[in-house]
């Protein structure tokens, strides 16, 4: 479903000098790529731009241009709140509900700035002044490219901003494997390659420069993998004790859920990772199976038809039992 509500955006943008770009808690490649690319473009348009994210993000994204200037809200709330309060316009990228901004929610709700949402997740909230929402788009990075093209800002793209957008596209499409990948996605990716992106080199930085701890965690997870009787549902998990013992750090288990879908016959994969007092959940599916609805109904989350997330305020043992009750486990 697509919703575009951008009437008078140009007028408001022209009046806005101080701009803040935000994304969701636990930012991933799409969240960071879209934010840093848009920052670079808006600065070329003469704006003062700050990227503020709720909490730290994975090291495999630190190579992106602009990384050294990102403000981490959890590391400096006072200075971040000052920028949010002073902003004339705030871009909300890769999320469509205030609660997805975690501890930033209160400050963002109170902000008097004009608010612009660019996002591809289902069921967007209706508070922004301007909305560009498309639930069938591959990624927010693709949407930022399309958004910039609407206003002829794509002329300001360069190799660095193209690398940021390409990062979000390849991570959110599983290197162009997921169902939201379209001919237009490849066309946009091609335009980014034309700007100098070296796909193999960039994907090596993203996918092939992993710490030893990631491989140890992966081995542990796969060693205790469970499948339903008909092997259509794959359940993957890591306890907090296992994560602590093997050197877990933020973002290190990114993509683990996809290993479940690689099992022959698998239609749904669920990955659970226990933290202090909560269990975070990633869901993936193939074909017509809708894990967005499943996440909303049973796991306090949501997302896309074939990719969603959630959380349970419990421990890993209870979460596993809950999953087997609410997944098509047989």
For the full predicted model, state whether its pTM sits above 0.85: yes
SS (H, E, C) the chain: CEEEECCCHHHHHHHCCEEEEECCCCCCHHHHHHHHHHHHHHHHCCCEEEEEECCCCCHHHCCCCCHHHCEEHHHCHHHHHHHHHHCCEEEEECCCCHHHHHHHHHHHHHCCCEEEEEECCCCCCCCCCEEEEECCCCCHHHHHHHHHHHCCHHHHCCHHHHHHHHHHHHHHCCCCCCCCCCHHHHHHHHHHHHCCCCHHHHHHHHHCCCCHHHHHHHHHHHHCCEECCCCCEEEEEECHHHHHHHCCCCCCCCCCCHHHHCCCCCCEEEEEEEECCEEEEEEEECCCCCHHHHHHHHCCCEECCCEEEEEECCCHHHHHHHHHHHCCCC
Please state the φ and ψ torsions of residue 268, each to the nearest 5 degrees.
-135, 135
Q: How many residues does the chain have?
A: 330
Q: What is the pLDDT of residues 168-194, one digit of tens each?
A: 999 999 899 888 999 999 999 999 999
Please state the φ and ψ torsions of residue 50, each to the nearest 5 degrees.
-120, 130
The pLDDT of residue 106: 97
Ranges under pLDDT 50 in the chain: none
The pLDDT of residue 302: 86
Cβ atoms of 68 and 74 closer than 8 Å: no
Task: Using alpha carbons, select from 218, 177, 213, 214 the residue that is nearest to residue 306.
Answer: 177
Q: Where are the domains of the chain?
A: 2-206, 212-326
What is the CATH code for 2-206? 3.90.1640.10
Give the separation between CA 179 and CA 305, rounded to whole angstroms. Answer: 10
The pLDDT of residue 330: 74
Structure tokens at 7: 């009437």
Determine the straight-line distance between the first and last CA of the chain, rounded to whole angstroms: 33
CATH class in words for 212-326: alpha beta
The pLDDT of residue 32: 98
């Amino acid at each position: 479903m697509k919703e575009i509500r951008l009437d008078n955006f140009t007028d408001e943008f022209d009046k806005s000098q101080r701009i803040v770009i935000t994304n969701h808690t636990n930012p991933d490649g799409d969240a960071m790529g879209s934010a840093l690319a848009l920052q670079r473009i808006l600065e070329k348009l003469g704006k003062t731009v700050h990227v503020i994210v709720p909490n730290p993000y994975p090291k495999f994204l630190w190579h992106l241009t602009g990384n050294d200037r990102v403000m981490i809200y959890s590391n400096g709330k006072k200075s971040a709140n000052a920028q949010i309060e002073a902003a004339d316009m705030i871009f909300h990228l890769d999320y469509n509900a205030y609660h997805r901004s975690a501890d930033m929610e209160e400050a963002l709700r109170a902000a008097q700035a004009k608010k612009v949402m660019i996002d591809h997740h289902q069921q967007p909230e209706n508070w922004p002044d301007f909305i560009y929402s498309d639930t069938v788009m591959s990624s927010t990075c693709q949407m930022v490219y399309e958004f910039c093209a609407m206003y002829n800002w794509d002329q300001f793209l360069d190799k660095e901003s193209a690398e940021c957008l390409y990062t979000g596209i390849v991570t959110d499409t599983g290197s162009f494997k997921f169902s939201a990948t379209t001919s237009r996605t490849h066309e946009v990716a091609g335009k980014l390659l034309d700007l100098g992106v070296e796909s193999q080199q960039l994907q090596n930085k993203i996918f092939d420069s992993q710490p030893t701890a990631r491989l140890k965690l992966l081995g542990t997870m796969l060693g205790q993998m469970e499948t339903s009787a008909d092997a259509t549902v794959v359940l993957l998990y890591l306890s907090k004790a296992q994560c602590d013992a093997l050197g877990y750090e933020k973002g290190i288990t990114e993509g683990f859920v996809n290993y479940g879908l690689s099992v022959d016959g698998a239609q749904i994969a669920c990955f659970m990772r226990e933290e202090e007092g909560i269990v975070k959940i990633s869901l993936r599916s193939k074909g017509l199976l809708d894990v967005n609805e499943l996440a909303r109904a049973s796991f306090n989350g949501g997302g896309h038809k074939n990719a969603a997330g959630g959380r349970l305020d419990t421990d890993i043992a209870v979460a596993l039992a809950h999953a087997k009750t609410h997944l098509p486990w047989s």
